[in-house]
Amino acid sequence: MMLDPFSINLIIVSIIVFAIHNIEETVGIEGWMAAKFPPRIAQRYRKKPFFIATFLLWIAYSTVALIAVCSGKTTALLLFTLAFAAIVANGLFHVLAVPVFHKISPGFWSAIVLILPLGGLFAWHTVNIGLMTLPQAVLAFLAGTVVQVPLAAAAIFIANLVVGPKKKDILK
């Protein structure tokens, strides 16, 4: 399937938006986690390992996005849709977390201003061009929601293996 220029632009913009969101999260994550979670959990969200985790996710996402753009294959486009749905689900988490934690989480502003509007535009566009039906778009979002948590957890785990706190620090 040959992608139209608007679809290509949406995909490329999503790569940039995800990078901006990751930067916003990384800048504030350490202090927010320390204020909201016990030390044994908060220590896993230091800036350096968190940056590595988000960078790994960004590389994976960008690769999927560029393969979708360059190949135009249906499988690649559907995989991209799932990956983008995971990012939109993460953005929605930032909004829904405010009433739970009574504080704006790092990543909230880029979620509100960039991710959620882009997610809505992307969903509308994919339905409009016939890539998916509305029920399929909703299903993709739900699948992205399910995939987002283990992907993020795996990235944090890997980053902490590389540069995270020592085991003796976590047990304190």
Given a cut of 80, whether residue 171 has pLDDT beyond it is: no
Phi, psi of 118 (to 5 degrees): -65, -40
100-141 per-position pLDDT tens digit:
989 999 999 999 999 999 999 999 999 998 888 999 999 999
Instruction: Name the residue among 157, 135, 88 with its Cα closest to residue 116.
Output: 88
CA-based max dimension of the chain: 55
Lowest mean pLDDT among 2-16, 17-31, 107-121, 150-164: 150-164
52-79 per-position pLDDT tens digit:
999 999 999 999 999 999 998 888 888 9
H or E element that contains 5: helix 5-36
Would you kindly state where each structural domain of the chain is located, as residue ranges? 5-170
